[in-house]
Structure 1
Amino acid sequence: MLTIGSTVLGVNDVARATAFWHAALGYVPREPGDDTWVTLVPASGSGAHLALMLSRTPVQDHPRIHLDLYADHQAAEVERLVSLGAQRVNWDLYPEDPDFVVLADPDGNRFCVVDKSPR
């Protein structure tokens, strides 16, 4: 039987990405990383892992894989993430009345903040 161990993001600067995702999610390094790789885990110890790997490939405008972050207070979380260094993305594929907002981390990796509050 297989399970997913980590989601891996390619980044240009592992230290900068580690600082952003630590502030965004409260995740901490599982073990000391280096300038090419680090795996972040929830501080509580349980939950999905996020690995950051040095990459020189360009960011995709419409990535095939991305993170969905669920938020009870979407607008507040979007503003908090922007204050940490995320950027709003002018997303051309929004449906009518979307329940998500597309942002990019400091390396340009797209991710969504999904509104989980009752609609």
Structure 2
Amino acid sequence: MLKIVSIVIRVNDLAAQSRFWQAALDYVERDPASDDWGVLKPRDADTPCIALDAHHSERVLPPRIHLDIYAEDQAAEVRRLAELGAREVHWDKLPEDADYVIMEDPEGNRFCVVDRPDWSGWESPPGG
């Protein structure tokens, strides 16, 4: 059996990206980071870790993979993430009834903030 334990994000500034993702997701360092690698884990949830890999990688748009982050209060989370340095990405093909907001972290790694006010009581978020 397989299980996703970490999702790896390539970064340029490991310390800055670590601070962003810790604040964004309420994650903590699993172990002290090295010069080019750090793993952040959920403070008190059984969800995948975020590993930060400080090696240059060419940015490709649209990205082949991205994170979907569920939010109980999407508008408040989008504002909070913007205050942390994330930016909203505007896409001309976004459906009018989209339940997600496309954002990117301070280095341009994309993720979506998905409006899911009803999943907070579940042991784990519903799939897709």
- TM-score between the two structures when normalised by the length of structure 1: 0.92
Q: Which moved more, 1:79-88 or 1:30-39?
A: 30-39
Which protein, 1 or 2, shows the higher relative CO under an 8 Å CA cutoff with sep ≥ 6? 1
> How far apart, CA to CA, are the structure 2 residues paired with 1:4 and 1:80?
27
- Do residues 50 (structure 1) and 50 (structure 2) align? yes
Which residue in 2 is equivalent to 1:104? 104
Give 1:45 shift.
5.6
Structure 2 counterparts to residues 23-34 of structure 1, below 5 A: 23-34=23-34
Give 1:49 shift.
0.6
The answer as to whether partners of 1:7 and 1:49 remain within 8 angstroms in 2 is yes
Which residue in 1 is equivalent to 2:123? none
> How far apart, CA to CA, are the structure 2 residues paired with 1:92 and 1:104?
16
> How far apart, CA to CA, are the structure 2 residues paired with 1:43 and 1:4?
17
The answer as to whether partners of 1:15 and 1:35 remain within 8 angstroms in 2 is no
Amino acid at match of 1:32: P
CA RMSD of aligned residues (A): 1.3
Give 1:74 shift.
0.3
Unpaired segments of 5 or more residues in structure 1?
none
- TM-score between the two structures when normalised by the length of structure 2: 0.86
- Do residues 36 (structure 1) and 28 (structure 2) align? no
Amino acid at match of 2:12: N
> How far apart, CA to CA, are the structure 1 residues paired with 2:46 and 2:97?
33
- Do residues 61 (structure 1) and 61 (structure 2) align? yes
> How far apart, CA to CA, are the structure 2 residues paired with 1:39 and 1:45?
15
Amino acid at match of 1:65: I
> How far apart, CA to CA, are the structure 2 residues paired with 1:3 and 1:29?
20
- How many aligned positions are there? 118
Which residue in 1 is equivalent to 2:3? 3
